[in-house]
Structure 1
Amino acid sequence: MRPPQPDARPVALTIAGSDSGGGAGIQADLSTFAAHDVFGTSAITAVTAQHTRGVESAHVLPREAVAAQIDAVVDDFAVGAAKTGMLAETAIVSLVADRAADATFPVVVDPVMVATSGDRLLDRDAEAAYEELLAEATVVTPNADEATVLTDVEITGVDRAVEAGRRLLETGVDAALVKGGHVPGETITDVLVADPDAVETHDATGTTGEGAGELVDGAIVATFEHERVDTEATHGSGCTLSAAIAARLARGDDLVDAVGGATDFVAEAIAHHYGVGQGPGAVNPQFDRRSVE
């Protein structure tokens, strides 16, 4: 009989909602962690009934249940990084902000605020609570609509994304990745704006090559450009991106490299999307395990 051979690997935590259709939320996060050879743990904030066509209903878990999940994971596992997704309501946003303040690992915040239709998913109080969370976070990853909610800056291109990123830094977050997928054009440009002192903490100032950050007017600015894939199968793309960043941080990547690698990963996950369901489909974090370097 062969002796046991434990597989030691980094650990990441996702704090998000469950997607019964499997394309987004906790399910997409855990699949993305696995694709990066990272052990995934979770704290579920809400149970949704959804599929590739949309959300049918959602049940938010009690604050105490979410807190118990987070505390159980952090108490037992050496968490290397965490990410947030759907936090559902003010009480849970505030809870996660409190736990992030005590965290000894990077926290990636995907501010799930605006639906694909453009409708807001949180009330004003919950949006204000996000400012508390951002003050404790390593990087926030809003799409163009969410960045506008958070900063009042309409994202029409790279310059406006940089402006929004700078405003987000004023909340105390170390870095902001303003995603360009909702901005029309043949290419998608994601813009990272980071506090130089915070980036030094994560050793990202040594990054070189395409996508490497440059110091511009007191902030590190890096852009990541990809050809737009001709598909509407982007369900789960935001979850997958933030999970990929967290996984790479858990593995020890510096901040700029983690973001650059994650944007490359999502571009491929969209190009090789799952053709499932009666809607457009969902991104595929398992497109090629060999793609993770």
Structure 2
Amino acid sequence: MPRSIPRVLSIAGTDPTGGAGLHADLKSILAAGGYGMGVVTALVAQNTHGVRSVHIPPVDFLTEQLHAVSDDVHIDAVKVGMLGTCDIIKAVSAWFEPIDAPLILDPVMIASSGDRLLDPSAESALRELAAAATIITPNIPELEVLTSQSLSSVDEAITAAQGFAQTHGTLVVVKGGHLEGNEAGNWLVDANGILSHTSTPRLDTKNTHGTGCSLSAALATRLAKTGDPALALEWATLWLHDAIASADQLEVGSGNGPVDHGVWLRALKDGDQEA
């Protein structure tokens, strides 16, 4: 059931600079009107230049974190990000099985910097988790891995996403921002083709760190808030566009900096933007 203030759990890795992973998810959930909670899958030493190292805590501790939340709090939506290994994926899948909430899976496999964030041996387990997801939000390199195809155009990506949706019974977001051209919007695709398209222009900035994490977390929140995947993706897409447009003002890091998650909240405080 739609909820005015959805309780959204992010299951993800960390980013000490605050631009991606769990840190970005909590900001995105708040910006989208939800209450954010977080379970850590991996401790990642990274900054705006890339990933330096990854530490994976014991899987038993991950399971304790998950049950500590779900034993106490009713969860209205789950966003899953970086999982890293097959054992982590299996633990999250087993925990989620009795959870009655939509699951948005951001299949974190390859960072925008090109860093590999998923053990290749875990790819089949990730595909199995995708079958339990309501929506998956891969970037184009991740969609290529998931579908074993090389994708160079929107049409190719949509066709590949449609095939994946048919096989796994999920919705797939195709992201224009990871393709060439002026179009940087997003398409929502099911087994029959395109359900919706929200168009946004490409912006000239290097500061797009954490866009995938942020989009999926906002999407999970708006889905729990509205119950409508197309409306949820439209809101998340337009918000993320403005967050990217304002990113240069943050001046965080000397590499590819984060997006401005608070851009609409500050405008709302000034009376310029409706929630």
**Do the structures match in fold with TM over 0.5?**
yes
> Does the CA contact (< 8 Å) of 1:36 and 1:292 recur in 2?
no
Query: What is the CA-CA distance between 1:117 and the residue it aligns to?
Result: 4.3
Shift of 1:258: 0.6
Shift in alpha-carbon separation, 1:266–1:39, aligned structure 2, 3 A: same
Whether contact under 8 Å (2:29, 2:217) holds in the other structure is yes
Per-residue deviation at 1:280?
3.0
The superposition leaves residues 233-268 of structure 1 with CA deviations (integer Å, 9 ceiling, x where unpaired) of 000111000000011122134111111111111111
- 1:83 is paired with a residue whose SS is strand
User: CA, structure 1 residues 249+292, in 2 after alignment: closer, same or farther (shift >3 Å)?
Assistant: farther
Structure 2: runs of 5 or more not aligned? none
Q: 3-state DSSP class of the match of 1:77?
A: coil
Shift of 1:48: 1.2
Q: Secondary structure at the match of 1:279?
A: coil
Tell whether the 8 Å contact from 1:153 to 1:163 is kept in structure 2 after alignment.
Answer: no
| CA–CA separation in structure 2 for the residues paired with 1:66 and 1:292 | 37
Query: 1:230 aligned to 170, 194, 204, which one?
Result: 204
Structure 1: which 5+ residue stretches go unaligned? 1-7, 196-217
How many correspondences in the alignment? 264
1:192 aligned partner, one-letter code? L
| Greater Cα offset, 228-237 or 89-98 | 89-98
User: Counterpart of 2:149?
Assistant: 153
Change in CA separation of 1:292 and 1:174 when aligned onto 2, cut-off 3 Å? farther
Paired position in structure 1 for 2:219:
245
Amino acid at match of 2:232: A
Please give the residue correspondences for 1:11-50 in structure 2 after superposition, counting only pairs within 5 Å: 11-50=7-46
Alignment correspondent of 1:262: 236
* 2:73 aligned residue: 77
TM norm structure 1:
0.85
Give the fraction of aligned pairs with identical amino acids, expressed as a percent: 41
1:97-176 map, 5 Å = 97-118=93-114, 120-176=116-172
Structure 1 SS opposite 2:151? coil
Structure 2 residue identity aligned to 1:172: H
Deviation at 1:277, TM superposition (A): 1.4
Q: Is the 8 A contact 2:187 2:194 kept in 1?
A: no
Correspondence 1:51-66 to 2 at 5 A: 51-66=47-62
CA RMSD of the aligned region, Å? 1.7
The aligned amino acid for 2:150 is E
Closer, same or farther: CA 9–122 of 1 in aligned 2, 3 Å: closer
Tell me the residue number matched to 1:204: none
Counterpart amino acid of 1:50? Q
CA distance in 2, matches of 1:145, 1:128: 16
Deviations 1:195-237, CA, capped at 9 Å, x for gaps: 5xxxxxxxxxxxxxxxxxxxxxx34532222100100100011
1:272 aligns with 2:249: no
Letter in 1 for 2:29: F
- Separation (CA, whole Å) in 2 of partners of 1:156 and 1:126: 25
- Cα deviation for residue 278 of structure 1 reads 1.8
Find the aligned partners of 1:241 and 1:257 in 2 and give their Cα distance.
13
The DSSP-based 3-state class of the residue aligned with 1:102 is coil
